[in-house]
Chain A
């Protein structure tokens, strides 16, 4: 008996899987650029996340898939690392991020009062951004400026002995903003 050889259907061409296809171009570009530069380092995930956050100001949740893909990790691994570290954020921050120290050495110099003032003045709690999108308030546990507290860091600059008045002046808000800066 002669068996008619079975003809195989031509394979369906699957589109190449692109986990970054739906991303906004700037997010996609940032991830591809950073992972291209740093992705081959041993233990590359933290340097890559730092790079993305430095470029975009945050690590968009929707970029997790592409980051995982570029580093050959699972999405869960990338998400787990982002959520573990206080410094990484998945929401776009305000234009300026204020890091207010609330550790013991600053407590000894009255940082609790500054904390209350900052929250009241900005109308936000920690980890929140003001409604106008200008400021994000973050707690930080030590800036290494422990003999001159209360300390805060804004725009990468450290400030010592921050009083309520000085806080307003640094931010250029309230009545103190009109006074000359020292």
Chain B
């Protein structure tokens, strides 16, 4: 009998839910029964409520079973799952699961599909085709293709990638750099982690294309220390790619060079800010730099540097491979292509949803997310990380494109959506936003360093019912100062969650007795 391929994810979230036990149990059980299997440790499909998600290749169709625990394995074998047999955990062909089927996976096309570290598998699924095309193009044409695709920075700032690359390409210098910002610090986001763990060559390919386009021969990935699984995968992938000639002094026999290095961060949220990250890469405190000069002109070690987020770089190979027009054919308004939304917090069907821009929050939270995990009503959703506004259900019909969302005072950021149920205390959330800013401020500018501490104090006074009206005015004034006076987005955006909580959930800022009464009233209504 020919061997059957069985997939068990090695994604960090899948592992945290017991995927290692499942993989070991499947290997042991197959050995015991004399079944010939090939166990592939893939990335995650991004449907975390059914992780660990085991897939079996049945005549070319991948049949899914999940969530599987180690103790289910023997019964799965009894049910003939290696031939796609019936079992209560059987979910059918994985690509027919509506959550996945309805998505538009461009950047994440291979995540969960391939063996992350197999270059053969990567190439069999279209990998390195973008790089091969780029090697045959003039650097200026590569930059133009990225510009034409309409790709904008997926890290949060949404700056047009083509313009950034052109600036760096035009800057004369002996040494230029490409830096990938993989310091994914926003709560509610895990797309960078999933991509690195599930398809690391895609990031390597995107960065190499950037190097060719702007004339940079050195690249760095700045990865969070909180992601040890991603670190191991990326280290192995860089070694493999170098060994097989996809990185190094002679990329795929072209005579061009690009050397990639992995650097680990050290737990400072601010180092996700690009200039702060550069300081950190240079071995310094992660204090932000004044801009200008732009990093594209004077960046790492004072040289022209292209800095993009993981998802931005990982979107480049498909743009080169399928063409700028294909990519730009997705999306809405000036937000072209797809966005990797991450459903997080108290949500029934948490995971990764890659969709073209223009989808509404309601579709994401209700249709994909299925509401809260515990069935209580959704009260608020924080979009775009700890510096993003809290959105009330009355605003859920807003389309998620950069401009439309900005109109309601929100920002898409890195695409994280954190769902809260009706028990959330929004004044406590506002306090946390200020507290977080105080903990993570780099200390360079006063509005952020001092303002955040004062913000916590003022919110404490409001919550204690001390001169509430006066202190609310003071808090709004403080927020204004931070918004206008901070040097970077940390102090400059920390007021967004605070102000949105004040605007939409002001009842939570009332004195404690009234707040309790308000919650009770909501619970009965």
By a beta-carbon cutoff of 8 Å, the part of chain A in contact with chain B is 42-47, 49-50, 71, 77, 80-81, 84-88, 99, 103-109, 140-149, 151, 153, 156-161, 182
**Chain A at the B interface: SS class:** loop
Query: Does the CB pair A147–B48 fall under 8 Å?
Result: yes
Query: Looking at the complex, which of B23-31, B123-131, B266-274 is the stretch in contact with chain A?
Result: B266-274
Report Cα–Cα, A182/B187, bound state, in Å.
Answer: 28
Query: Looking at the complex, which of B341-349, B477-485, B512-520 is the stretch in contact with chain A?
Result: B341-349
Contact of B228 among A148, A156, A182 (CB under 8 A): A156
State the interface size on chain B (CB cutoff 8 A): 62
Query: Does the CB pair B418–A104 fall under 8 Å?
Result: yes
Most chain-B CB neighbours within 10 Å: which of A141, A143, A146?
Answer: A146
Query: Does the CB pair A109–B345 fall under 8 Å?
Result: yes
The residue on B at minimum CB distance from A149 is B345
Query: Does the CB pair A99–B187 fall under 8 Å?
Result: no
Query: Does the CB pair B227–A160 fall under 8 Å?
Result: no
Answer yes or no: B15 CB below 8 A from chain A CBs.
yes
Query: Does the CB pair A146–B419 fall under 8 Å?
Result: no
Chain A residues positioned under 8 Å from B267 (CB to CB): 85-87, 140
Near A by CB (< 8 A), chain B positions 219-235 give 224-229
Query: Does the CB pair B16–A148 fall under 8 Å?
Result: yes
How far apart are B146's CB and chain A's nearest CB, in angstroms? 27
Query: Does the CB pair B345–A87 fall under 8 Å?
Result: no
Query: Does the CB pair A158–B266 fall under 8 Å?
Result: no
The residue on B at minimum CB distance from A143 is B226
Report Cα–Cα, A88/B266, bound state, in Å.
Answer: 7
Known: A46-B266, A87-B268. 17 other contacts (CB 8 A): A43-B283, A71-B283, A86-B268, A104-B187, A108-B344, A108-B345, A108-B421, A140-B226, A144-B189, A144-B190, A144-B192, A147-B48, A147-B344, A147-B345, A148-B17, A148-B48, A151-B16
Report Cα–Cα, A144/B363, bound state, in Å.
Answer: 23
Taken residue by residue from 423 to 437, chain B's Cβ proximity to chain A (1 for < 8 Å, 0 otherwise) reads as: 010000100100010
How far apart are A171's CB and chain B's nearest CB, in angstroms? 16
Near A by CB (< 8 A), chain B positions 30-57 give 48-49
How far apart are A176's CB and chain B's nearest CB, in angstroms? 18
Answer yes or no: B152 CB below 8 A from chain A CBs.
no
Report Cα–Cα, A144/B44, bound state, in Å.
Answer: 13
Chain B residues positioned under 8 Å from A140 (CB to CB): 226, 267
Chain B residues positioned under 8 Å from A105 (CB to CB): 187-188, 344-345, 416, 418
Query: Does the CB pair B187–A81 fall under 8 Å?
Result: no
Chain A residues positioned under 8 Å from B424 (CB to CB): 108
How far apart are A41's CB and chain B's nearest CB, in angstroms? 8
Answer yes or no: B116 CB below 8 A from chain A CBs.
no
Contact of B418 among A71, A108, A141, A145 (CB under 8 A): A108
Most chain-B CB neighbours within 10 Å: which of A71, A87, A108?
Answer: A108
Answer yes or no: B351 CB below 8 A from chain A CBs.
yes
Chain A residues positioned under 8 Å from B282 (CB to CB): 42-43
Answer yes or no: B382 CB below 8 A from chain A CBs.
yes
Answer yes or no: B149 CB below 8 A from chain A CBs.
no
Query: Does the CB pair A141–B187 fall under 8 Å?
Result: yes
Enumerate 13 A-B pairs (CB-CB under 8 Å) in ascending A order. Answer: A50-B266, A81-B284, A84-B286, A103-B188, A108-B419, A109-B345, A109-B373, A144-B226, A147-B48, A147-B342, A147-B344, A148-B13, A159-B16
Query: Does the CB pair B432–A107 fall under 8 Å?
Result: yes
How far apart are B398's CB and chain A's nearest CB, in angstroms? 20
Report Cα–Cα, A104/B380, bound state, in Å.
Answer: 12
Query: Does the CB pair B15–A146 fall under 8 Å?
Result: no
